[in-house]
Structure 1
Amino acid sequence: MRAAAAVAWMVATANHTAGAWSPGLQTAELLDHFGVIGSVSDRARILMKAAGVSVDGAPGCPELGDPALLASTRRRTIVHERDSAESESWER
C-alpha cells in the first residue's frame, strides 16, 4: 500500500491537487485513504528513479516528465506561466 500511496502522492503533488498547493485535499488525507501514516516521499523518489523520472526538482514538487500525467488544470497553469514569462521578456 505504501507504493500505491507514493504513486498517488507523486501525481497529486505534481498536479498541485493535494498538499501545500491545494485548498482542499491535504497530503495526510490522501495517504489516510491508503492506510499510510507518515511521508511517502522517499518511496516516491525510489519509484521515480526506477521509472527514469528526474528527481532533481524541488522537494515535494515532482516533475513527472510526461505531460499526460498532469491534469488539464495543471497543464493550463504551466502554459500560462510560460507565456507570461515569455511576454515579460519581450517587454524588456
Structure 2
Amino acid sequence: MKKIAMYFYFILSLTVLIYGLLRVPFYSKMPVETTFSWAWLLFAIFVVGAHLSNVLQIDKEEIRRQRLNEEVEDLGKVFIKQTN
C-alpha cells in the first residue's frame, strides 16, 4: 500500500507541475507576479524531485531486501550441507 501511495503522490505532483506550467505567467509586467511564478516553479520542482527520490529509493530497498534474502538462503544451504 505504501508503494502505491508513493507512486500516486509522484504522479499527482508531476501533474500539478505540468498544470502550473501551463497556467502561471512567468513573465509579467508586475515583478511580484514574476517572482511568485518562479518561486512556485522552483518549489514544485523540489516536490517532484523529492517524490521521485522516494519512488527510486523504494525500488532500491526492495532490491536490497531480495539480495539479502538470497544470501541468507545460500548461507542456510551451506550450513545444512556442512551439518550433514
* Same fold per superposition (TM over 0.5): no
Instruction: Using structure 2 for the length normalisation, give the TM-score.
Output: 0.29
Q: TM-score, normalised by structure 1?
A: 0.27
Q: Which structure has the greater CA radius of gyration?
A: 2
